[in-house]
């Protein structure tokens, strides 16, 4: 075993290199993150930064508190990352940074107390071309200002009461039964496309969860897992559902591996990789409007159309709030409610006639 192999085994992700002065230095690397651990192997700095990197609490370059001015937007963002990121999944952190960092780059040097309502309205106007992204920005900015109040850096939240853009879009397209049949006709049982499609349709799992599912999640005819989005939360959402016969058939003929959707090289497929593959498979089936997330919605739609309650939808999908699941009941369960209403109306009319 080489010295470097020994280091990597003890501290996965760690490697060394020589800087332009020829000095040996250590760093931790994984997709989307590089953390400098310093020149001294297993020093206090090395161990502290390595632990932060592994735990996901290390602040990326430019986010160090020592580089910020007290009371500035910069300093507030640093506090926000330290307080909120430990309980967030890596993909969620990435989404947060994508919204916060551009704002920080432009306004980071300004004091938090200086942000006025008129400034928020001006930012909203500048982002009006992308209303959904603007609404997401306003949500993150409001979170920052709420933290500023908690820290006693200001007394009010200038984002509160700023009206969000209205959107007629209901988000990702939910697959119809015709589209489901069309995909199955193009990608039959035994193909990776059919396995991925069936796994997400009959579990309601998101891409980030679907790529992690495998034989380890099966027990006595049921499939159980904790949603990746909530794993860092002490009360992480647990999903425990029966295995549908169609899913069982797809799993039975699939290659045996640690995960159901692992690559040909025996590695766990990435969520983005699955998304790209699903886009290709949908295009091959002539389904331009369909996506992997739409399968999750299709599962919720089916339950709602079958008369399922919001709580029943939540038990399958693992939604965090009742309001999210209730939307499916409101959108797709109306036909059942209308049928029930007319049934009661007919009974009432018959009683009056009698």
**Structure token digits, residue 101:** 């960092």
Residue 223: pLDDT over 90: yes
Digit-coded pLDDT (tens) for 113-135: 999 999 999 999 999 888 889 99
CA dist 34 → 37, 190, 200, 317, 343 (Å): 10, 39, 32, 34, 63
**Residue ranges per domain, the chain?**
1-58, 61-163, 177-337
Token pair 């209205």 is found at 166
Contact between 144 and 100 (Cβ < 8 Å): yes
- pTM assigned to the model: 0.62
Token pair 């700095």 is found at 45
Digit-coded pLDDT (tens) for 319-351: 877 777 777 767 666 666 666 667 677 777 777
Architecture of domain 177-337: Orthogonal Bundle (1.10)
Q: Do the domains 177-337 and 61-163 match in fold?
A: no
Topology (CATH) of 61-163:
DNA polymerase; domain 1 (1.10.150)
Contact between 128 and 134 (Cβ < 8 Å): yes
Contact between 67 and 86 (Cβ < 8 Å): no
- Chain-centre distance of CA 184, in angstroms? 27
At 206, give phi and psi (nearest 5°). -75, 170
**Structure token digits, residue 218:** 């099966």
């Amino acid at each position: 075993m080489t010295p470097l192999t020994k280091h990597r085994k003890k501290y996965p992700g760690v490697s060394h290199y020589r800087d332009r002065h020829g000095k040996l230095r250590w760093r931790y690397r994984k997709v989307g993150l590089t953390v400098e651990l310093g020149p001294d192997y297993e020093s206090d700095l090395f161990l502290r930064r390595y632990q932060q990197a592994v735990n996901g609490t290390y602040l990326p370059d430019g986010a160090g508190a020592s580089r910020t001015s007290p009371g500035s937007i910069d300093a507030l963002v640093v506090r926000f990352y330290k307080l909120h990121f430990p309980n967030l999944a890596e993909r969620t952190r990435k989404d947060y940074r994508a919204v916060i960092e551009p704002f920080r780059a432009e306004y980071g040097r300004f004091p938090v107390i200086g942000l006025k309502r008129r400034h928020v309205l001006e930012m909203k106007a500048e982002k009006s071309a992308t209303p959904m992204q603007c609404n997401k920005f306003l949500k993150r900015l409001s979170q920052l200002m709420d933290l500023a109040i908690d820290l006693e850096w200001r007394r009010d939240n200038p984002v509160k009461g700023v009206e969000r853009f209205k959107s007629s879009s209901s988000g990702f397209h939910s697959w119809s039964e015709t589209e489901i049949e069309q995909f199955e006709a193009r990608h039959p049982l035994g193909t990776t496309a059919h396995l991925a499609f069936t796994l997400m349709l009959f579990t309601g799992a998101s891409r980030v969860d679907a790529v992690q599912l495998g034989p380890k999640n099966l027990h006595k005819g049921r499939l159980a897992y904790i949603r990746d989005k909530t794993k860092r939360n002490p009360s992480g959402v647990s999903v425990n559902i029966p295995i549908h016969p169609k899913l069982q058939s797809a799993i039975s003929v699939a290659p045996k591996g640690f995960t159901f959707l692992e690559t040909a090289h025996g590695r766990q497929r990435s969520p983005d990789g699955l998304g790209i593959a699903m886009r290709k498979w949908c295009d091959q089936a002539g389904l331009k409007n369909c996506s992997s997330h739409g399968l999750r919605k299709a599962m919720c739609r089916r339950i709602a159309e079958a008369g399922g309650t919001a709580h029943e939808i939540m038990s399958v999908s693992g939604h965090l709030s009742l309001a999210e699941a209730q939307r499916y009941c409101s959108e797709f369960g109306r036909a059942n409610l209308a049928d029930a209403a007319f049934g009661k109306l007919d009974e009432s009319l018959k009683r009056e006639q009698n």
